Amino acid sequence: MSLNAGSGFTGVDAPSPADLSRCVHCGLCLSACPTYTTLGVETESPRGRIALMKAVQDGRVGITPRVVGHWEMCLQCRACEAVCPSGVPYGRMMAATRAQVRTQGRQSAMVKGAGRLLLRGALPHPRRLRLGAGLLRLYQRCGVQWLVRSSRVLRLLPGGLAQLEAALPALSRSFFGPSGETHRALGEKRLTVGLLSGCVMPLMQADTMRASVRVLILNGCDVVVPLGQGCCGALNQHSGDLEYARRMARRNIDVFLAAGVERIVTASAGCGASMKEYHELLQDDAEYAEKARRFSELTMDITELLVSLPFAAPTARLERRVTYQDPCHLAHAQRITAPPRAILQAIPGVELVEMEQASMCCGGAGIYSAVQPELSGQILERKLGFIAETGAEVVATANPGCMMQLEQGLRRKGSTARVCHVVDLLDEGYRGEE
Amino acid sequence: MDQPSLAGRFLDELRAIVGARHVVSHPEDLLVYEYDGSIDRRAPLAVILPASTQEVSRVLALAYREGVPVSGRGAGTGLSGGAIAAPGGIQIGFARMNRILEVDTVNRTATVEPGVVNLDLDMHAHKFGLRYAPDPSSQRACTLGGNIAENAGGPHCLAYGATTNHVLGLEVVLEDGAVVSLGSLARETPGYDLRGVFVGSEGTFGVTTRIVVRLLPLPETVKTFLGIFPDLDSACTAVSAIIGYGIIPAALEMIDALSIRAVQNVMDAGYPPDAGAVLLVELEGLREEVEDTSREVEAALWEGGAAQVQVAEAAEHRAKLWLGRKNAFGAFGSIAPNYFLVDGVVPRTKLTQVLRQVSEISQRYAMPIANVFHAGDGNLHPIMLFDERVPGALEKALAAGGEILRICVEAGGTLTGEHGVGLEKKEYMPLVYTPEDLAAMKLARDAFAPANRLNPGKIFPDGQDHPPSPHRAAPGLYA
Ligand SMILES: Cc1cc2nc3c(=O)[nH]c(=O)nc-3n(C[C@H](O)[C@H](O)[C@H](O)COP(=O)(O)OP(=O)(O)OC[C@H]3O[C@@H](n4cnc5c(N)ncnc54)[C@H](O)[C@@H]3O)c2cc1C
Ligand code: SF4
Ligand code: SF4
């Protein structure tokens, strides 16, 4: 019996029948899904999106604009995957589904445009990004931004782009980047780690990158930021551009394995999640499958690494009321929830106040806030409410996308709460000792 | 309603009541409303998502006028096909009616809308040192409206009773749109206890729009035991021993070897992979009380033939043990693409015998059958594991399930403990009820819904078996 007779999926990058049949439509994922709990329709639920994949596979429905719309509405936050009792690998199923949508030319115009402009055109090209960011910094600093924001220009932009403009955080004063040099461990050396520089972090959150280097060397790590590395390719993978994501993965694998490091570390949850899954992405690549497996095994989130060392608690006090936002790709994709909290709680004076639904997505989700501005905004709104209830003066998280989204939301609300990375606070704790 | 223009006009009127965004009617969208947590499938004509009692009432009045059958839909986690629409029928979904309206800490009650998720209510009650006791394993997703329709149970219902013991009052919309109140806040209600007959009526009496439930104080101490056994028989002996001591634990759950494998495939719940069965026993109450009973529980577990007994007191450890149990049904997806689960109840003294017969059926049908169930009240959940894409497999699973239900009834038990009859078990009703019994039940339904417009085709045998599975239907339906 052919299971795939009349299937609307073709080629290799398609959700596998084995993955699809693992979903027993029990519905236990519904209450974890931000789009379902916001919109209340099952077409925007994990089970519904999988049912549509199955329906396409069974030839019951085509890859129609309607069906694509429901898939594109997914944040790929993977909250459903983390609670699924059956272990349905939703993340890779959705990536493969989007690959089908993409190769069959069925993407919505918005997603297609964003893919071309950002995912292929900008993020993978450090030099282009740097140049663009340099111009943008000029734009933000010299007052033109004020002019644009207060003028009518913004109104002429399509909704998503205007939202994106609003989301632009102030760029870092000086950028961070791969140098190839080794930052030497202070005190007794324990490990040599390779740090992922990434695409947006060195431009938008260069201070966090520098804080990452400092906390690592303070805890006995030699830190290398190997030259030649690039963007991790996570956003390409999420959007279904698997071919390009593989290209980017191969480059990083070559660079980091050649650097001879004992661990590969990232301060970006989204990058870490995708790097830990390079082995899945490249499993059919005869030359790279094995190397990818090694690379994935070496990869650790910075909070995970610090706790495993273990890190030294700062001794100086940092009186702060802090709440922690779990990045989806840390909590759900990597199932890391305790280490960031352990770090925050180890800083004397920090009072960690849990917000409600801390691991519910903030609506940032890569380019989601640009391509689905309305729903992204609704999801963010709910998050901001929970943050406000805690009365926290600092919102700590562990992913650049979440930092930008929360920053943007809080500023718009006129909140004075500060957004930072967990390692920023740890670094401040250490610096208080000096 | 077979003329498209008629259906179109009807849908327009529905849109006028709840807003166009809240009517799902495109055939591609309806693909995700054709199932619940079980095996039956049928797409509704439309799904309506009202926001208030008034809207529900107007939708029902309209459907009544047009002769369109209506089924409620909570989270669609049901395990008897209860939420599946009748042919040509609509579903009313409660995802937008999901507010906790009030918690009265003095009288220990909560007033909620029907779409509130069971666990959300429980977690909210925790903030006041209270709890909502009924805890179906699906509590993370299932709704109070669905719980009331099915009179849902759960592991802790052994000590606290099923949903019906916790519902004080209901606001219900009848098939013609009339809004009525059943029960009240007081413990005693003058006149008929209609609340009592309504709970468990599987959506055939009326549509629940507001619910008042009882909350209980959180226990001072909770202790969970994991008894690890070489085989199912010895675990059953331990169950008898516990009951023999006169202990009613808060929960007493059995997980067999196949279920252990399924759970451990997906997560580490701390169940040993080589165990023949494990028992989860939970004690709750005042510290001294729990300490006293603990010794007896441990003794009973050893007497039954436990290879090992673990005690968990830390909240995290207990949560891990329970997560495994609560995830068990879903975890079967890691072993087979489909499951069919029956919910028979047997007297506790017959557990060993009936489980042996189940194992014999499994061999005869060459189909794996797992057992994970509420041992304390003899509520079995034999689960047939199969792949519906293999011709004949679904029919085989259904036949095996039927045999098991027959065995349960022969052993002095019954068809369903907590999942309801729905579409799935209606043809088995004559096993436990005489035609007169069934006629009496129909009279009760007719008193609430004389036109039989609410969830028709459920509960009562009508010779119409399961709707055909679309997986066996011709492809290309909407392509
Ligand atoms: C993994 C898993 C574990 C489970 N464990 C348990 C368990 O331990 N104990 C247990 O008892 N059940 C269990 N169930 C079954 C199921 O979760 C329960 O029957 C639950 O009560 C259904 O709630 P729901 O919101 O999903 O309802 P649905 O499945 O949507 O509907 C169930 C029935 O309720 C009706 N209904 C829903 N809302 C209303 C309303 N407002 N007014 C009138 N009728 C309404 C529907 O028409 C239908 O007949 C489990 C299911 C799964 C998938
Ligand atoms: S994805 Fe998992 S939790 Fe969701 S319906 Fe499927 S099996 Fe159940
Ligand atoms: S990934 Fe997130 S948004 Fe997408 S279906 Fe899962 S829970 Fe919902």
Query: pLDDT digit string (tens) for A257-304?
Result: 999 899 999 999 999 999 999 999 999 999 999 999 999 999 999 999
pLDDT value for B425: 87
Q: Which atom of ligand 1 lies nearest, measured to the CA of B454?
A: 47
- Residues in chain B where the model's pLDDT stays below 50: 470-479
More confident residue, A132 or B2: A132
Cα gap A258→B369, rounded to integer Å: 51
Q: Is A289 on the interface with B (CB under 8 A)?
A: no
Report the candidate in A367, A359, A362 with the shortest Cα–Cα distance to residue A72: A367
Residues with a CB atom less than 6 Å from ligand 1: A 26-28; B 36-37, 71-79, 82-83, 94, 114, 136-138, 142-143, 145-147, 149-150, 152-154, 202-203, 207-208, 329-330, 418-419, 455
Number of other residues whose CB lies within 10 A of the CB of residue A359: 18
Cα gap B230→B51, rounded to integer Å: 52
- The answer to whether the CB of B199 falls within 8 A of the CB of B214 is no
- The answer to whether the CB of A322 falls within 8 A of the CB of A358 is no
pLDDT value for A167: 53
B354 token code pair:
């009936």
What average pLDDT score do residues A36-56 get?
A: 96
Task: Identify the DSSP state of A116.
Answer: I
pLDDT value for A197: 84
Instruction: Report how far apart, in Å, the C-alpha atoms of B52 and of each of B48, B49, B73, B462 are.
Output: 12, 9, 15, 34
Query: pLDDT digit string (tens) for A223-257?
Result: 999 888 888 888 888 888 888 899 989 999 999 99
Give me the domains of chain B, ranges plus CATH numbers.
4-93 (3.30.43.10), 100-217 (3.30.465.10), 221-331 (3.30.70.2190), 336-448 (3.30.70.2740)
* DSSP state string for B116-136: -BHHHHHHHHHTTTEE-----
Q: Which atom of ligand 1 lies nearest, measured to the CA of B455?
A: 47
* Ligand 3 probe mutation, A23, A25, A30, A35, most atoms within 8 A of CB: A35
| % of residues, chain A, pLDDT over 70 | 85
B274 φ/ψ angles, rounded to the nearest 5 degrees:
-95, 5
- The answer to whether the CB of B36 falls within 8 A of the CB of B422 is no
pLDDT value for B473: 35
Handedness of CA A225, A228, A231, A233 (dihedral sign): negative
Q: What is the mean pLDDT of chain A?
A: 86
pLDDT value for A1: 34
pLDDT value for B462: 87
Note the ipTM here: 0.91
Cα diameter, chain A: 72
Residues 30-59 of chain A with CB under 8 A from chain B are 30-32, 36, 40-43, 45, 47-48, 51-52, 55, 58-59
Query: pLDDT digit string (tens) for B26-79?
Result: 999 999 999 999 888 999 999 999 999 999 999 999 999 999 999 999 999 999
pLDDT value for B108: 95
Interface test with A, best of B23, B26, B29 (most A CBs within 10 A): B29
pLDDT band at A155 (very low <50, low <70, confident <90, very high): low
What is the residue type of B470?
P
Going by alpha carbons, the residue nearest to atom 7 of ligand 3 is A33
pLDDT value for B477: 30
Handedness of CA B139, B142, B143, B149 (dihedral sign): negative
What pTM value is reported for the model? 0.90
Q: Going edge to edge, which strands form the sheet with A191-195? A: A182-183, A221-224, A191-195, A263-266, A299-301
Query: pLDDT digit string (tens) for A382-429?
Result: 999 999 999 999 999 999 889 989 998 998 888 899 999 999 999 999
Cα gap B255→B45, rounded to integer Å: 40
For B440, residues 6+ apart whose C-beta sits below 8 A from its C-beta are none
User: Cα-atom radius of gyration of chain B, to the nearest Å?
Assistant: 22
pLDDT value for A133: 62
Pairing of strands A299-301, A263-266: parallel
Task: Identify the DSSP state of A196.
Answer: P
For A261, residues 6+ apart whose C-beta sits below 8 A from its C-beta are A192, A193, A194, A224, A226, A298
- The answer to whether the CB of A97 falls within 8 A of the CB of A53 is yes
- The answer to whether the CB of A277 falls within 8 A of the CB of A320 is no
Residue A118 has pLDDT above 60, yes or no: yes
pLDDT value for A374: 87
Report the candidate in B154, B57, B99 with the shortest Cα–Cα distance to residue B110: B99
Provide the shortest C-alpha distance from residue A189 to chain B (in Å): 35
pLDDT value for B396: 92
Q: Going edge to edge, which strands form the sheet with B382-386? A: B308-312, B221-229, B277-285, B251-256, B369-374, B382-386, B338-341
pLDDT value for B361: 95
pLDDT band at A11 (very low <50, low <70, confident <90, very high): confident
Ligand 3 mean position to A46 CA, how many Å?
6
B377 token code pair:
């009240």
- The answer to whether the CB of B84 falls within 8 A of the CB of B459 is no
Residues with a CB atom less than 6 Å from ligand 2: A 23-29, 46-47, 50, 80, 84-86, 88; B 330, 333
More confident residue, A159 or B50: B50
B452 φ/ψ angles, rounded to the nearest 5 degrees:
55, 45
B44 token code pair:
């509704």
Helices vs strands, H then E, count in chain B: 14, 18
Task: Identify the DSSP state of A32.
Answer: G
Provide the shortest C-alpha distance from residue B142 to chain A (in Å): 8
A426 token code pair:
């740890």
B445 token code pair:
């339904």
Cα gap B3→A282, rounded to integer Å: 53
> Any alpha helices (H) in B132-190, and if so which ranges?
144-150, 157-160
pLDDT value for A141: 52
Cα gap A24→B333, rounded to integer Å: 6
What average pLDDT score do residues A91-114 get?
A: 87
Report the candidate in B43, B391, B392, B471 with the shortest Cα–Cα distance to residue A59: B471
- The answer to whether the CB of B330 falls within 8 A of the CB of A84 is yes
pLDDT value for A238: 86
pLDDT value for A368: 83
